Structure 1
């Protein structure tokens, strides 16, 4: 893994590139909406505005995530990303309602799309910039493993489909003469934004509520930990995520006759083995004499 200052700088540069691209596209699409009056382009403009907010939040999140734990935040500052995500969800929901309402209004009115070539040109420019940004983000994710940049990259990948839909709407409306195509695509974009808000809200709430890791990942973690020959069993596994930080704690059964020094050595070896497959995860292991079970603990016990 690269040194922490290098990964932090690369992640922040990727976040800054995302902010710059979103700012440029926001200006271009604002001009395109004023020229075309397209509901689909309006939806694309709203999505780009949300992209800018998301990119700014990603930049802030990368910086906050690099802030060390302090006296008042012993587990770090990862929850700030989930709170910021909920703020984004509120913006996305409002934009989806507004775009859906305007698109529905265009169905009943005498809405005419103008200057479709201008709107198509802006959408093509947006696609080119998005492809370049995604390529750079992938490079940074490969170097740093940043979850924040990886998530931002997924968002811009979905923008490629969105911009293609805008091109289709404008071409069908003005060149193919299919009336109603533009507001229809506008409604589809509004629904797509609403679905994105719903899924983002669920993810943010899962982080705030300390949802467990996926079952497959927990099973893989346990399988690696159980490989140590001096462990008699593993129980009371608990996992959670906080922004880009992840935490695991669990109890292990060891020989009751084992000294504290020997038990500490075993815990260090188990932790070192796990860190190779789960880098950056904060691990807390509690040794118990073989067979001991805390009656107040949740019924999650896996024996080796």
Structure 2
């Protein structure tokens, strides 16, 4: 089990503990804010468990029917997460409205405040762990889960404020108001997850910083490298794919061009470890003979390198 799968299991088990506590306290006190936060934590269990399965699937190597591997499983998990979370957000809004019109009584105890403070601490720890590992491993699923737990920080803070205000003022409107705020936060965070997951499924090009790194590598290649074109990239889960055509001096032997290409691939993999690159070799388009003196492309390349 790799570090990404361990992180997903940690998040799922922590969320299960919190969900059980919140539901128990919410049912006893009748607090809509605590109960809605409990529903959110129950969803966290489902999402983190789904992330675990998606990450495990994405880690599987290419097979007979999946030449490029299974890395998009993480993007599918992120999209599925967002749709379920959006639905949950609207359920919370509906329940808050229903509670408001029914004029239900809400009873609070120190246990309400205690469980929400505990939830706040757990949400902070979980979001930090998922964000750190998600960025380190470039996992879309973990980063999406981290974003969701970050929204939990906001919802838990809102629930704590609702408990305090309702306790001291005796007005239940604060509890219902913050339940609405929680629902809105959940929906907004889900829309962000949906956008990121959808982009991964649609073969979006690599990020600007990654593209800059790749172009920097290509533009600094020495002679007999003479240029490149038809560069294409795409993101799939935590993997990135690219293909391009590179030009070498037409006087270069095929074996030498192949060796140079292997060196270029090694350079790219060193700077962009997650990239799977396919390079097509082409002869330089410049027509030059043995009696024409120094290579025009070599002089041009040297000039560019000096300026850079």
Are the aligned partners of 2:58 and 2:72 in contact in 1 as well (CA < 8 Å)?
A: no
Q: Is residue 129 of structure 2 the alignment partner of residue 118 of structure 1?
A: no
Q: Is residue 16 of structure 2 the alignment partner of residue 44 of structure 1?
A: no
What is the aligned partner in structure 1 of residue 149 from structure 2? Answer: 156
Q: Which residues of 2 match residues 247-286 of structure 1 at below 5 A?
A: 247-286=241-280
Question: In the TM superposition, what is the alpha-carbon distance from 1:136 to its structure 2 partner?
Answer: 4.7
What is the aligned partner in structure 1 of residue 70 from structure 2? Answer: 77
Q: Which residues of 2 match residues 115-264 of structure 1 at below 5 A?
A: 115-134=108-127, 136-137=129-130, 140=133, 146-230=139-223, 231-264=225-258
What SS is found at the alignment partner of 2:2? Answer: helix
Calculate the TM-score normalised by the size of structure 2.
0.84
Quick one: structure 1 residues 139 and 98, their matched pair in 2 at CA, closer, same or farther if it must change by over 3 Å? closer
Are the aligned partners of 2:120 and 2:153 in contact in 1 as well (CA < 8 Å)?
A: yes
Quick one: structure 1 residues 108 and 137, their matched pair in 2 at CA, closer, same or farther if it must change by over 3 Å? closer
Quick one: structure 1 residues 125 and 111, their matched pair in 2 at CA, closer, same or farther if it must change by over 3 Å? same
Question: In the TM superposition, what is the alpha-carbon distance from 1:17 to its structure 2 partner?
Answer: 1.2
Distance 1:153 1:243 in 2: 16
Gaps of 5+ in 1: 1-7, 293-302
What is the aligned partner in structure 1 of residue 20 from structure 2? Answer: 27
What SS is found at the alignment partner of 1:250? Answer: strand
What is the aligned partner in structure 2 of residue 102 from structure 1? Answer: 95
**Higher relative contact order, chain-length normalized (CA < 8 Å, sep 6+):** 1
Distance 2:149 2:87 in 1: 20
Quick one: structure 1 residues 146 and 98, their matched pair in 2 at CA, closer, same or farther if it must change by over 3 Å? closer
Question: In the TM superposition, what is the alpha-carbon distance from 1:165 to its structure 2 partner?
Answer: 1.2
What SS is found at the alignment partner of 1:232? Answer: strand
Distance 1:54 1:229 in 2: 49
Q: Is residue 55 of structure 2 the alignment partner of residue 62 of structure 1?
A: yes
Calculate the TM-score normalised by the size of structure 1.
0.85
Are the aligned partners of 2:230 and 2:244 in contact in 1 as well (CA < 8 Å)?
A: yes
RMSD: 2.4
Quick one: structure 1 residues 64 and 135, their matched pair in 2 at CA, closer, same or farther if it must change by over 3 Å? same
Q: Point out the structure with max Rg over C-alpha.
A: 2
Are the aligned partners of 2:154 and 2:185 in contact in 1 as well (CA < 8 Å)?
A: no
What SS is found at the alignment partner of 2:64? Answer: coil
Distance 1:214 1:137 in 2: 21
Gaps of 5+ in 2: 287-300
Distance 2:240 2:133 in 1: 20
Give CA deviations for 1:100-126 in whole Å, capped at 9, x if unaligned.
Answer: 112123333313321253221111111
Number of equivalences: 287
